[in-house]
Structure 1
Amino acid sequence: MTQTTTLIVGGSSGMGLATARQIIASGGHVILVGSSAGKLDAAKAELGDNADIYRANLRDTADVERLINQIKSDTRHIQGLVNAAGTFAPKPFMENTAEDYDSYLDLNRATFFITQAVVENMIANGGGNIVNIGSMWAKQAVRATPSSAYSMAKAGLHSLTQHLAMELAEHKIRVNAVSPAVVVTPIYGAFIAPDQIEATLTDAFDAFHPIGRVGRPEDVAHTVTHLLSDDAGWVTGAVWDVDGGVMAGLV
């Protein structure tokens, strides 16, 4: 019997790592992709034999190509794919540089072609499930966090979700996305000191969410693992708001 596994791009921290924990707790196997050797090693030490790690800088085309070749040579059925890699550095539109813009679009390019490689595996093995980590910022501008370049990239990921759902349905591949609001993860380290992320976000954004608090990685991971499972077998092409009520509460 072919072994099944879930590949999590951006799996060494945040929502990706929280998803990996839940998959392993349910008896699954994961492959974590990340750029930090230290974070990957720590994740591997925590998760044990049910996790493999691939190191790749998604902004480096050679690294991405090497990762794609690893995926293509993997004989296991990669039944699940979670695209969770991301970066977030709010900046006013007029202050963005070409480098800022490319930092987001390079991730989208890597995501596109990594997903191609995984889909090739899924088609050869009878199907699978993909979940993309999108963002509320792709749907709604927030004055306190101007993020036009980031939002443009995430809106593209939402659109990719819907297009792939249409194209891949005949191959028994479902494709969905989640759209989180503020979640306490290391992604905010680009402009908040790592040891201050939780305090800063809770002070500034708890009240922003109708449910009364910012999110935790586990909040999003529960929805991701549901979408990966057969329990969501009639769901494809969806972009689910997992945002503490933000989109419902905006007027």
Structure 2
Amino acid sequence: MTFFSNGTALIIGGSSGMGFETAKQLLQAGVKVEVLGNNPNKLNAAVDELSTLGEIKGLQIDLYDIKAVEQLAYSIASKDTHYGYLVNAAGYFSPTPFVEHTIADYDKYHDLNKATFILTQAVVKNMQRFGGGNIVNIGSMWAKQAIKATPSSAYSMAKAGLHALTQHLAMELGEVNIRVNAVAPAVVQTPIYESFIAPKDMQKVLASFNDFHPIGRVGEPLDIAHSILFLLSDEASWITGTIMDVDGGVMAGRN
């Protein structure tokens, strides 16, 4: 796959999981990368590992700190660095029955969308100054289909909103040479499940979802990263506004 050489990739939520694997693939393709993460220890470890592959920078930020998000947005919009690629990979997931949801639960998802909106707007302004770019959002299968075993009303609202944002931005930004797409994964083995599954039980619990997918296994972060990489690449130059199902066949049907 080919990428225009002067564009740096900004990966929001790039210190673990799908964002980390995407950073790794982009560095191996010769793209400079900046990753944003909240946990400083995890972020430093990720940057140390990725530094062997190419030019990488890390920035610690709490996406729930709106003042910090606004300050970063101002910096991005006016920065001399051309952010030719943006991947919105930050996420939170903790299934909760609808009648048990609190306002705090709801805000946990939708405040994250607010940060995504603000930072994406800043990157788009940067891309416009430099002549274009490509954006990929990580949405979710849960935005398209309800799963009774994992009640996720607020999460699904947030991800459906991200899908809608993807399509609206594709329409608005096509004329300024910015493509916007999204991937919609099903169950993928990432740290996002640590909010409600103990690390020692993670492998066993996620393995119980193998048969949920027609392809017979849960996804790996690299499965999603490969699709993100394609959508960012020049080979996908005629694709925008797409919500790509990368889900082991779940949206086609289930066993």
TM class, shorter-chain normalised? over 0.9
- Give 1:100 shift: 0.2
Pick from 210, 219, 222: which aligns with 1:218? 222
Kindly indicate whether residue 43 of structure 2 is the aligned counterpart of residue 35 of structure 1. no
- Give 1:2 shift: 8.6
Contact 1:3 1:76 survives alignment (8 Å): no
The aligned counterpart of 1:227 is 231
Partners of 1:57 and 1:230 in 2: CA distance: 32
Amino acid at match of 2:20: L
Partners of 2:97 and 2:36 in 1: CA distance: 31
Residue aligned with 1:246, SS: coil
Partners of 1:62 and 1:174 in 2: CA distance: 28
Which residues of structure 1 form unaligned runs of 5+? Answer: none
Amino acid at match of 1:246: V
C-alpha RMSD of matched pairs (Å): 1.4
The aligned counterpart of 1:130 is 135
Residue aligned with 1:102, SS: helix
Pick from 236, 248, 252: which aligns with 1:248? 252
Partners of 1:70 and 1:248 in 2: CA distance: 43
Partners of 2:61 and 2:184 in 1: CA distance: 25
Partners of 1:158 and 1:11 in 2: CA distance: 20
Partners of 1:11 and 1:108 in 2: CA distance: 16
Which deviations, in whole Å up to 9, do the C-alpha atoms of 1:23-49 show, x marking residues without a partner? 001111111011110111001101115
- Give 1:199 shift: 2.4
Kindly indicate whether residue 87 of structure 2 is the aligned counterpart of residue 51 of structure 1. no
Aligned length: 250
- Give 1:198 shift: 2.4
Contact 1:2 1:77 survives alignment (8 Å): no
The aligned counterpart of 1:4 is 7
Partners of 1:239 and 1:215 in 2: CA distance: 17
Partners of 1:100 and 1:79 in 2: CA distance: 34
The aligned counterpart of 1:97 is 102
Partners of 1:2 and 1:200 in 2: CA distance: 42
Identity %: 60
Residue aligned with 1:249, SS: coil
Partners of 1:223 and 1:236 in 2: CA distance: 14
Contact 2:212 2:254 survives alignment (8 Å): no
Amino acid at match of 1:23: L
Which residues of structure 2 form unaligned runs of 5+? Answer: none
Contact 1:54 1:67 survives alignment (8 Å): no
Residue aligned with 1:86, SS: coil
Contact 2:189 2:219 survives alignment (8 Å): yes
- Give 1:200 shift: 1.3
Q: Runs of at least 4 residues of structure 1 off by over 6 A? A: none
Pick from 109, 117, 124: which aligns with 2:122? 117
Residue aligned with 2:34, SS: strand
Contact 2:213 2:254 survives alignment (8 Å): no
Pick from 107, 111, 131: which aligns with 2:112? 107
Residue aligned with 2:183, SS: strand
Give the stretch that moved more between structures: 191-200 or 219-228: 191-200
After TM superposition, the score normalised by the length of structure 2 is 0.95
Which deviations, in whole Å up to 9, do the C-alpha atoms of 1:153-210 show, x marking residues without a partner? 00000000000000000000000000000000000010001232222101x2000000
The aligned counterpart of 1:191 is 196
Contact 1:86 1:187 survives alignment (8 Å): yes
Residue aligned with 1:223, SS: helix
